[in-house]
Amino acid sequence: MGDDTLTDPVHGGLRNEVRDRFVAVNGDHAMSSEDDAYVREHFVEAPPGATRLMLDGRLPLPSYVLGDGTAMVPADHGRLAELAGGLDRLHDWFVAFWEGDEAAGEREWQAYLSGQHAGLREVSPVRIRQVAERVAEARAALDLLRRDPHDPIGRGMLGEAVDGVIAVPGLDAMLLPMTAYDRLRAGGPTIRERWVDAPRAAYLTPAPPVWPLRTERLLLRPHELGDADAFVTAWGSEEWTSLLLSRPMNRAEVVEMVRRRTERGDGTFLGLAVTTLDGTVVGDSILHLQGTGLSEAEIGWTVLPEHAGRGYATEAARAVLRLGFEHYGLRRIMANLDVRNERSAALCERLGMRREVHRIADFWSKGEWTSSYEYALLREEWRAARG
C-alpha cells in the first residue's frame, strides 16, 4: 500500500501537500537516519485515507515526515474521533476540555491539528492539559529552587512535575524521549530536555558529600570490599538477624552484599561503614533517598554485637540525620522496624524521632505476618531540637 501511494500521482500530490503544510508549521529541517529510526519506533505511517482529512483540518497533521517523505502519525491518530463519537464531533468534544475559556480551547485545537504535540506519548486533551499543568508547576518550582535548592515546597512541586505523585502522572512518564530533529524544530532544547532532564540533573540528582563523616568517636564512609570480614559473624547469626528482613547469610553472601553496596548507582542509596577513628568497623548505616522530589529518606542501622551498648549506633545515626537534613536538604527522615525490635525503637526515641505509625501484621518476615513501627523526624523538628 505504501509503495502504491508513493507512485500514485494523486496520492503522491497529496503527500507533497502534506509535507508542505508540515514544513510550514515546523520549518524545513533535515531528518537524519537516527531521527527516522526513532520515529519509526514510536509512530506509524499515516494511512492513505488520513491524508485528505489532515489537509482539510479534520485530523492533525503528521507528527513527523521522514527523510523519504513518509508522513508519520501516532498509532492512535484517529482514536480521539472515535471517542468523540465521530469526526464531525471531534472539534466540539475536544474544546469542551477547556470549558469556560473558549479562546484557549480553540488555541489548543489549532495546536493539536498542526501536530505540535509530537512529544506526548498519548495525544489527548487530558494529557495536553496535564502536560501544560506540570510544565507550569516545574517552572514555579525552579523559581523557588534557584533561590534555595532545599526549599521543601519547590522540591514537592518539582517532584510532582517530573515524576508525578500516585495518580498524577509526571512529565517523565507523559513525554516521549524525542529526537535531535525535535531540537531543530523547537529552535532549542526539547520539552523533555527543558522540563525533565535539566531539572532532574540540577535538583533531583543527589550529589555525594565529602567522605568520611566524622563524629566524636566515629567515621562514616561508603563501604569498601574489605568491610565484609567484620560483618560475617553477625550477619550469619540467626539471633542477630532475627528482627531484620534478611535471613542469615554465609560468607559469600555477605561479601556480595558489601560489593553491591559499593556500586555507586544513582546516588539515592547510601550504604555506609561505621568505624572507630582507628578504622575498626563497628556497624553500618544506610540512607535511602525516596519520595516526591527525593525529599524523604529511610534510615537504617546495625551495630555489631561486640560493639553494642556504647552509643555507637546513636552517634552514627545522628551524623546520618545531619547528612540527610543539611547536605541532601531532606524534609523528613523515617525508620521502619519490627515492633519486637525494642533496641531499635529505643534508638529512634533517643534520636528524637516520633512514632507515627503502628502497623498491625503488615509485612511477611521469616514465616509470619509481622507488625511494624514507622518513626519519623521532620527537618524543622531536628533543627529545633538542636537549638
Ligand X SMILES: CC(C)(COP(=O)(O)OP(=O)(O)OC[C@H]1O[C@@H](n2cnc3c(N)ncnc32)[C@H](O)[C@@H]1OP(=O)(O)O)[C@@H](O)C(=O)NCCC(=O)NCCS
* Contact with ligand X (CB under 6 A) among 113, 313, 330, 333: 313
Cβ atoms of 214 and 315 within 8 Å: the answer is no
Residue span binding ligand X (CB under 6 A) among the ranges 50-58, 134-142, 177-185, 309-317: 309-317
Number of residues that bind ligand X (CB under 6 A): 19
* Burial of 90 from C-beta contacts in 10 A (0-12 / 13-18 / 19+): buried
Q: Where are the alpha helices (DSSP H) in the chain?
A: 2-7, 9-26, 33-42, 48-55, 79-84, 87-95, 102-113, 125-147, 152-163, 171-174, 180-186, 191-192, 198-203, 228-235, 251-262, 312-322, 342-350, 379-386
What sign does the dihedral 327-328-329-334 (CA atoms) show?
Answer: negative
What is the β-pairing status of strands 332-338 and 296-303?
parallel
**302 is a contact residue toward ligand X (CB under 6 A):** yes
Q: Which stretch binds ligand X (CB under 6 A): 10-18, 150-158, 201-209, 337-345?
A: 337-345
Among 274, 287, 303, 319, binds ligand X (CB under 6 A): 303
**312 interacts with ligand X by CB under 6 A:** yes
Residue 292 contacts ligand X per CB under 6 A: no
Applying CB under 6 A, the span of 108-116, 177-185, 251-259, 341-349 interacting with ligand X comes to 341-349
319 binds ligand X (CB under 6 A): no
Question: Would you call 282 helix, strand, or coil by DSSP?
Answer: strand
**The amino acid at 50:** A
**55, 83, 153, 244: which one binds ligand X (CB under 6 A):** 244
Contact range with ligand X by CB under 6 A, out of 15-23, 56-64, 319-327, 338-346: 338-346
CB of 234 to ligand X, least distance (A): 8
Is 301 one of the binding residues for ligand X (CB under 6 A)?
yes
Q: Min. distance of Cβ 32 from ligand X in angstroms?
A: 53
Min CB(382)–ligand X separation in Å: 17
CB-based contact 131:112 (threshold 8 Å): no
- To ligand X, the closest distance from the beta carbon of 211 in angstroms equals 21
Distance in Å, CB of 196 to ligand X, minimum: 35
CB of 358 to ligand X, least distance (A): 15
Select the residue interacting with ligand X from 79, 260, 288, 310 (CB under 6 A). Answer: 310
Question: How many helices (H) and strands (E) would you count in the chain?
Answer: 18, 11
Task: Select from 233, 236, 240, 327 the one that contacts ligand X (CB under 6 A).
Answer: 240
* Enclosing H/E stretch for 354: strand 354-365
Q: Locate 296 and state its grid cell.
A: 524523604
Q: Which residues contact 61 (CB under 8 A, 6 or more apart)?
A: 18, 21, 22, 25, 54, 113, 114, 115
Q: Provide the minimum distance between the beta carbon of 301 and ligand X in the complex, in angstroms, as a whole number.
A: 5
357 near ligand X, judged by CB under 6 A: no
SS3 249: coil
Distance CA 181, CA 278 (A): 57
Q: Confirm or reject binding of residue 140 to ligand X (CB under 6 A).
A: no
User: Which residue number has the CB closest to ligand X?
Assistant: 311
Verify binding: residue 277, ligand X, rule CB under 6 A: no
Q: Which of 116, 344, 370, 372 binds ligand X (CB under 6 A)?
A: 344
Q: By CB under 6 A, name the one of 79, 247, 259, 343 that touches ligand X.
A: 343
Q: Report the residue number, 259 or 310, with the smaller CB distance to ligand X.
A: 310
Closer to ligand X by CB, 344 or 370: give it.
344
Report the alpha-carbon distance of residue 41 to residue 45 in Å, rounded: 11
Binding of residue 230 to ligand X (CB under 6 A): no
Which of 286, 51, 38 minimizes the C-alpha distance to 176?
Answer: 38
* Selected range binding ligand X among 4-12, 112-120, 291-299, 342-350, rule: CB under 6 A: 342-350
As a whole number of angstroms, the distance between CA 65 and CA 48 comes to: 14
Task: Report the distance separating Cα 156 and Cα 331, nearest Å.
Answer: 10
Among positions 13, 208, 209, 309, the unique one binding ligand X when judged by CB under 6 A? 309
376 vs 357: CA distance, rounded Å: 9
CB of 355 to ligand X, least distance (A): 13
> Which residues, in sequence order, are bridge partners of residue 44?
73
Q: Which residues here bind ligand X, judged by CB under 6 A?
A: 240, 243-244, 301-303, 308-314, 337, 341, 343-344, 346-347
